[in-house]
Chain A
């Protein structure tokens, strides 16, 4: 029987799953994905994590917990960086160790480091290294790398074309009649694309007749160019995406407003949101709604704020 590898449906799942999935399958593993986030998973995470850890990491813990007895090994990469001179978050750098410390009963953990921050280092090089470390012949590894990188590119192309990760990865549907408005919905993928964590904000917006435009659909070159006005190069990959997309989309006439969704207590976003607010305020073109979510967020409160914001921008648009 094939060896099974467990992959948590959390954090960078929303950005890199097609890569991991194809890679491990090509190497002959059976990939086991944890189920969609739900209350049970969140509670499993809360139970194991220290209080101060942010919500997405607690959710990650919960997904790991749900995989413990289901797979022969777990793939919990140390994602230091996926971009030159950039990082994701210090917490990502310690994640496999945090899991080890809190799940003494864990099966084998594949915690390979992916660090593209240094020049000349890349995702595919680290991937190749991992394949060899797992003991596969160079030929197989090379093919697995090529196939998985191709799968990732294809996924990214779909997102650039306006498809939503929830649709592409999980087959979600958002058919809610006519769209009257477009707003930019910006935030870390593991927040906005996890229907449980985000309280399904994309579907909520759709029900209000609003199409959510996310950073993944913005052309990276346009994003980068718009981000050039930042006072200092933004070294957090996701923060850069958020700010670049906001600054680009705020110039587009069809975008009626911008929503930023962050985790409560998120380190990088505490500063990214501040900068976003100040820059947008100075330009006075697009209204901004900042939402923070965690395990204590009440859905009713979120709905109220969202509806009020949409009402406001709809009125603005007419007048």
Chain B
């Protein structure tokens, strides 16, 4: 068996570590590119949400490299992700491609389903599985912590590209190691390197919260490097959604003490009092949570036609009104162009900066009496 998986931000670091850890032969699909997109779009339903299309592109590219199995997460409703695997499998079948999709999801009819799927992957001892999970988890967490820092500091870096270079190095080092102690050490080392990078102290920055559908938030190829673009416009990006926090909450049952979305779900209630699939409720809740803490603006991103995020988008004006924070909603699909996106980001950053200045002025005014 040669196994592959779809890309989503740094997921490949996690997935490769985990699957190799349990002794499987892994084929990492080529990074998402125009080719991935056009392959995916060509064979997917026209109106499917974007992640389905690009994931399919990943599988097809991995297949060319010899993969015969793909591992993915699914679901049992209410959102489309729960039917991705079934549709993609049918598409592959009609293309005459021999590739099996193994979908990890909560059992539908029988509790043994998930266990059977894992057993199908490989017969290994529980100890080995746990070790692989442990290793993959630590790498993911370290990468996320570095990225979280980068999202803030990159807005003021004096030499453009210096932080990205460190992130790239860290990622390579993490890929190569298999020792927990070294992972921890790498994490500390790179964190302090990032923190001590030369900053442009003069630069005035604003703080923007980034929320939305997980795939478009985490995958730079589909959000057209949104975070970096914002950083270079002098925007510090705050992002509640990280792969590690998602894993902790959804796969590890929240046993680790890192900030999850429980509080946010509670805070969403006055605006959206129900789970709506995907991260719709979290989008609203995090907006409230961070607005209370003090931020200058909110950006929501989602694939075009994404149901949970359309619900969230529909109630966000209430949050804007109550907490007086401007919001911008971006929908992306295969036709979204970088130039158009950048124009919208620039305009929004200008608006946020203008409002921030005005608010400051008003404050000075009040206290000046």
Contact = CB atoms under 8 A, between A and B. Distances in A.
B116 interface: no
A97 B315 contact: yes
Given A235-B78, A271-B45, A274-B48, A91 B310 contact: yes
Contacts of A198: none
Given A52-B310, A271-B48, A231 B86 contact: yes
Interface string A59-99: 00000000000000000001010000111111101101110
B260 interface: no
B265 interface: no
Best-buried of B82, B304, B329 by chain A (most CB within 10 Å): B82
Contact of B77 (A52, A94, A235): A235
A93 B311 contact: yes
B308 A90 contact: yes
A39 interface: no
A163 interface: no
A236 interface: yes
B305 A235 contact: no
* Interface size class, chain B: 35 or more
B80 A270 contact: yes
B73 to A, nearest CB: 14
Nearest to A234: B83
Interface in B65-118: 76-80, 82-83, 85-87, 89-91, 94, 108-109
* Interface size class, chain A: 35 or more
A278 interface: yes
B185 interface: no
Contact of B89 (A88, A231, A270): A231
B90 A273 contact: no
Nearest to A278: B90
Given A52-B331, A85-B108, A91 B86 contact: no
Give the interface SS of chain A, mostly helix, strand, loop or mixed: mixed
B272 interface: yes
A45 to B, nearest CB: 12
Contacts of B305: 52, 265-267, 270
A101 B320 CA distance: 11
Interface stretch (B144-152, B187-195, B276-284): B276-284
B47 interface: yes
Interface in B298-335: 304-308, 310-315, 317-318, 329, 331
Interface in A238-284: 264-271, 273-275, 278
Contacts of B91: 278
B83 A101 contact: no
Contacts of B318: 100-101
A316 interface: no
Interface in B105-133: 108-109
Nearest to A231: B86
A53 B331 CA distance: 12
B273 interface: yes
A94 B272 contact: yes
B291 to A, nearest CB: 15
A270 B271 contact: no
Interface in A18-56: 49-50, 52-53
Interface in B258-292: 271-278, 280
B49 interface: yes
A50 B48 contact: no
Contacts of B94: 278
B45 A94 contact: no
Contact of A94 (B76, B87, B89, B276): B276
Contact of A270 (B45, B274, B275, B317): B45
Contact of B276 (A90, A265, A269): A90
A31 to B, nearest CB: 25
Contact of B311 (A80, A98, A232, A271): A98
Contact of A273 (B45, B277, B308): B45
B350 to A, nearest CB: 23
Nearest to A96: B273
Nearest to B275: A93
A305 interface: no
Nearest to B90: A278
A274 B87 contact: yes
A89 B304 CA distance: 16
Nearest to B329: A50
Interface of A: 49-50, 52-53, 78, 80, 85-91, 93-94, 96-98, 100-102, 113, 117, 230-236, 264-271, 273-275, 278, 292
15 contacts: A52-B313, A90-B277, A93-B311, A94-B272, A94-B314, A97-B274, A231-B89, A266-B47, A269-B47, A270-B45, A270-B305, A271-B87, A273-B45, A274-B87, A275-B90
Interface of B: 45-49, 76-80, 82-83, 85-87, 89-91, 94, 108-109, 271-278, 280, 304-308, 310-315, 317-318, 329, 331
> What 4 A-B pairs have minimum CB-CB distances, sorted nearest first?
A94-B311, A235-B77, A87-B78, A90-B277
